Amino acid sequence: MSNEKKERIVLDVAYQPQVRTNTDTRRIMLDVMIALLPAVAVAVWQFGIYPLLVIAVSMASAVFFEWGYRKLLKKHSTIGDLSACVTGILLALVLPPDAPWWLPIIGTFFAIVVVKQLYGGIGKNFLNPALAGRAFLLASYAAIMSGAYLVPKALRSTIDAATMATPLSFLYDTGAMPEYFSFVDLLIGKVPGCIGEISALALIIGGVYLVLRKVISWRIPVSFVGTVALLCLIFGYQGYGRVEWMLYNVLSGGLMLGAIFMATDYATSPVTLNGQLLFGAGCGALTVLIRYFGGFPEGVSYAILIMNLCSWAIDKAFHRHQFGVSKEDIKAQKEAKKAAKKAAKEAAK
Amino acid sequence: MSHTFKGGVHPNYMKAPEIPISVITPPPQVIIPMTQHIGAPCKPLVQVGDYVKMGQKIGENPAPVSAPVHASVSGKVVAVEPRPHPLGDMIMSVVIENDYQDTPCEDLAPLTEEQLKDSEAILERIREAGVVGMGGAMFPTAFKIRGGIGKVDKLIINGAECEPYLNGDHLTMLNYPEQLLKGIELVRIASCVDKAYYGIEKNKQDAIDLLNSLHPEKYGIEIVPEEVKYPQGAEKMQVNAVTGREVKPGGIPSGVGCNVVSTRTCYAIYQACYEGKPVIERIVTVAGSALKAPVNGLTRVGTPFGYLAEQCGGFVKPPRKIVLGGPMMGICATSFDAPNIKGTAGVLFFTEEEDKHVEHPTCIRCGKCITVCPMNLEPVFMYMYYSKGDFENMAKYHITDCFECGSCAFNCPARMPLTHAFKTAKLMFQAKQMKEKAKAEAEAAAAAAKEAKQ
């Protein structure tokens, strides 16, 4: 290249690093949606294609509200990062399979506009938008959200009704476990429930994918589910074996969906490593508490929402060990401080 | 189990050690900046019109933290004036018109057998030959080794070369293994220790095998294979990986009894002591998407980047950035006329292809910066407090411990300018400290004056 040409090149100057990883926000959100595909497939298998319409409406309305809000306030558009799509799909997955098609529009309005955008958009919200949207709908449309659930296709030959109680609400109402499905049914999704929560296995597959892709760490899901399992083993339930009771609690309800996809939401969970363990354990303990003593059959969503509010405090409490400062150094520092205080006291005397 | 540290990232390495070393023809004019090290700048020893030989000392400063500079070609001095420096700004430089004779200067004779066993003689030669930390820090090596004598019980040679693109260390190991081992032996003797640990990342297995086959124990050297992970080659990580020790905050490796010397520095020390050759050339990896293919060029100090690019086949696309060193810690040069210096291990011509710039970076609080930080820092909070200008909390989160390896920003999916922010914050801390010091001094002076009046 000639000297003349070189003159015209304007060089960029930037601080290091000059290269970046390929994984960006959009790719992460895409991975979350990919991880949800098995759960969506199970929903279609058990409830037909109607849930797909609910999901589609939910995603479309979430994106619309995200776009519209930012357009109205003359802020740069953020729909390209796909986070609104994830909120949309997650909200749809915690709705009943026969929810009216317009229900997610109300839910996503609350989730996207009130919970997410009013606090500054992606990364700034302190409650999980999808779960807050669900809580809002639960309060506003209690009959739709917590009534009897559509019978899955696998049970239609045995159950002679259009709707039935979910595993947890059956337990809540009667104090006993229903006999018409097994643990395998809970695992693969031959049970009534919300669109995305019925198959624990499909959700675990998605969770493994997310951990392998390094989108989430194992810490929150494992400590969440582990705490639920441990507490159920310890406290048990009258008339049932401890292991049986533990498995029933771990595999039913929204635990897997909540632990893998909701509690791991970046903005609303701690970022410190030990903080994540405590956050998961807190979610687990609250879930068990609500399931045992609460006014609802299921407690996962409230447990997560409550812990969301604590995540900032948890992060502040778990400061990492400073590189180059050993435990002995910290001890010595503390002792030196104590000695200084003592000396100051004595001097004051 | 292989040696490593906690945290770190795996960038796309883009290395090409299979490309043999090619000799870059020296340019018609070399530009030798008087500052090619950390510490006191050199004063030019020559004037316009002087004839200089290749390897002749042309700049010097008697201060302890300094390193002389030498002519990299023979020829006539045509200018002694400020010229663009690769690290920005205009710096006093000596410009030499190349006569393409490469008439060698005989000032530095190879050391004698006895001198090669004497710590003081070696250190004197290291300084005279202008050897600096050639991993990129450019700290005067003689001063560093001298400061470690008596304190250092573990000498570590850095062969990680964890930065993407760069191949210089790897090629030195493969092409000059014996010389390299002898150079390390010299550093070991100069440091007055019995053993040197040579940490090499396992992606250079061929080099590890080759060096091991030459009986490194004869020279008092142990090869330590390390896990391939950035920033394995950072001083503190190298110390941590090899010895398990952690350098104290704000401290240097000799504080925990370690000294880290880079591969290329050891080879330069070999050349200085056995061949009497000062630091006037090094292997520079020239790469990036603006070029057709990467080149591992043996390049004279003082070769302007524009000329270097032409010698490496010219541009296929207009470059947007000239990155000096590796892409993780390398900074950008601002001019095609700036020359390469002793610490330049790579010159990368990047286009839009490498640039992952986004319009509105927004933190999503994923915490991926925390898991990769080798210093156990929490970049997500450091950045938050930085953007608020909250110095108290920045200090609480140990922002000054950051050594700007760039792992957090590399791994950030939202493309936040994390390292940029921390670099700025550290400068702000420095400025603040200086201001406070000046204020305290002024107050003390005022008080003293008042007292004197009374």
Distance CA B161, CA B204 (A): 9
| A300 located within any domain | yes
**Looking at CA atoms only, how far is residue B95 from chain A in angstroms?**
19
The amino acid that residue B396 corresponds to is: K
Residue A299: which of A241, A191, A224, A223 has the closest Cα?
Answer: A224
pLDDT digits (tens, 9 = 90+) for A26-53: 999 999 999 999 999 999 999 999 999 9
Interchain pair B332, A19: CB under 8 A: no
Distances (CA, A) of B408 to A85, B356, B398: 27, 15, 15
The reply to whether CATH 3.40.50.11540 applies to domain B115-275 is yes
Chain A contact residues (CB < 8 Å to B): 1, 3, 6, 9, 11-21, 23-25, 27-28, 76, 78, 81, 83, 121-123, 214, 217, 266-267, 270-273, 315, 319-326
The amino acid that residue A143 corresponds to is: A
For tokens 């624990």, the residue is: A200
Residue B50: which of B84, B99, B91, B89 has the closest Cα?
Answer: B99
Statement: residue A133 has pLDDT above 90:
yes
Assigned token pair, B364:
């999503």
Question: Does residue B333 belong to the interface with chain A, where contact is any CB pair within 8 Å?
Answer: yes
Give me the mean pLDDT over the A127-138 stretch. 95
Distance CA B239, CA B252 (A): 10
Structural domain range at position A43: 25-142+154-317
pLDDT digits (tens, 9 = 90+) for A195-204: 999 999 999 9
pLDDT at position B177: 94
pLDDT digits (tens, 9 = 90+) for B260-312: 999 999 999 999 999 999 999 999 999 999 998 899 999 999 999 999 999 99
Question: Are B86 and B337 contacting, i.e. CB atoms less than 8 angstroms apart?
Answer: no
pLDDT digits (tens, 9 = 90+) for A290-314: 999 988 888 899 999 999 999 999 9
Helices (H), B219-355: 235-243, 263-270, 305-311
Residues with Cβ within 8 Å of B340's Cβ and at least 6 positions away in sequence, in order, are B86, B284, B299, B301, B302, B303, B305, B308, B324, B347
* Count of residues in chain B: 454
pLDDT at position B288: 92
pLDDT digits (tens, 9 = 90+) for A175-200: 888 887 788 989 999 999 999 999 99
| A59 located within any domain | yes
**Looking at CA atoms only, how far is residue A322 from chain B in angstroms?**
6
Domain-wise residue ranges, chain B = 115-275, 368-434
**Looking at CA atoms only, how far is residue B270 from chain A in angstroms?**
32
Interchain pair A123, B362: CB under 8 A: yes
**Half-sphere CA count of B126, side-chain side, radius 13 A:** 34
Report the mean per-residue pLDDT for chain B. Answer: 92
Give A-chain residues touching B371 at CB under 8 angstroms: 217, 273
DSSP state of B357: -
* Count of residues in chain A: 349
Give B-chain residues touching A28 at CB under 8 angstroms: 364, 366, 413
Distance CA B9, CA B371 (A): 9
Distance CA A75, CA A275 (A): 33
For tokens 């530095």, the residue is: B108
Interchain pair A19, B409: CB under 8 A: no
Interchain pair B420, A21: CB under 8 A: no
Question: Are B35 and B85 contacting, i.e. CB atoms less than 8 angstroms apart?
Answer: yes
Helices (H), B192-257: 205-213, 235-243
pLDDT at position B176: 94
CA A76-A77-A81 angle, 5° bins = 125
Give A-chain residues touching B331 at CB under 8 angstroms: 15-16
Q: What are phi and psi of A243, to 5 degrees?
A: -65, -45
Longest dimension (CA), chain A: 89
Q: Strand pairing partners for A285?
A: none
Interchain pair B409, A17: CB under 8 A: yes
Structural element, H or E, at residue B451:
helix B418-453
Interchain pair B401, A24: CB under 8 A: no
Per the omega criterion (within 30 degrees of 0), is the bond before A17 cis? yes
Question: Are B140 and B127 contacting, i.e. CB atoms less than 8 angstroms apart?
Answer: yes
A326 pLDDT band (50/70/90 cuts)?
Answer: confident
Assigned token pair, A78:
């953020």
Which of A11, A122, A214 lies at the smallest CB-CB distance from B362? A122
Question: Are B186 and B115 contacting, i.e. CB atoms less than 8 angstroms apart?
Answer: no
Cβ atoms within 10 Å, residue B386:
22
Q: Strand pairing partners for B23?
A: B298
Residue B301: which of B72, B55, B141 has the closest Cα?
Answer: B72
B residues 385-424 lying closer than 8 A (beta carbon) to A: 398, 401, 404, 406, 409-415, 417, 419-420, 423
Question: Are B84 and B334 contacting, i.e. CB atoms less than 8 angstroms apart?
Answer: yes
Assigned token pair, B248:
């104290």
pLDDT at position A2: 45
Give A-chain residues touching B335 at CB under 8 angstroms: 11
Assigned token pair, B256:
């925990």
pLDDT at position B1: 53
Question: Between B385 and A12, whose confidence is greater?
Answer: B385
Distance CA B269, CA B182 (A): 9
User: Which residues in chain B land under pLDDT 50?
Assistant: none
Distance CA A88, CA A105 (A): 9
Distances (CA, A) of A8 to A5, A79, B71: 6, 37, 31
B residues 243-302 lying closer than 8 A (beta carbon) to A: 246-249, 251
Beta strands in chain A (DSSP E): 149-150, 163-164
Q: Strand pairing partners for B98?
A: B75
**Looking at CA atoms only, how far is residue B8 from chain A in angstroms?**
13
Distances (CA, A) of B269 to B65, B110, B211, B264: 18, 11, 18, 9
Statement: residue A8 has pLDDT above 70:
no
Question: Are A200 and A187 contacting, i.e. CB atoms less than 8 angstroms apart?
Answer: yes
Statement: residue A4 has pLDDT above 50:
no
Domains identified in chain A, total number:
1
Tally A–B CB contacts below 8 A. 158
pLDDT at position A160: 80
| A266 located within any domain | yes
pLDDT at position A228: 96
| Angle between helix A50-72 and A25-47 (nearest 10) | 150
Assigned token pair, A105:
């529009």
Give me the mean pLDDT over the A64-77 stretch. 95
Distance CA B12, CA A86 (A): 29
pLDDT at position B97: 95
Return the SS3 of B353: helix
Distance CA A139, CA A145 (A): 9
pLDDT at position B26: 94
- Residue A70 sits in a domain whose CATH number is 1.10.3430
| A4 located within any domain | no
| A344 located within any domain | no
- Which of A9, A21, A265, A329 to probe by mutation at the B interface, max B CB count within 10 Å? A21
Which of B9, B321, B368 lies at the smallest CB-CB distance from A11? B321
What was the ipTM of the complex prediction? Answer: 0.89
pLDDT at position A154: 84
| A274 located within any domain | yes
DSSP state of B275: I
pLDDT at position A63: 97
Assigned token pair, B56:
């002749």
| A333 located within any domain | no
| A44 located within any domain | yes
Distances (CA, A) of A68 to A26, A34, A73: 20, 26, 9
Strands B295-300 and B281-287: antiparallel
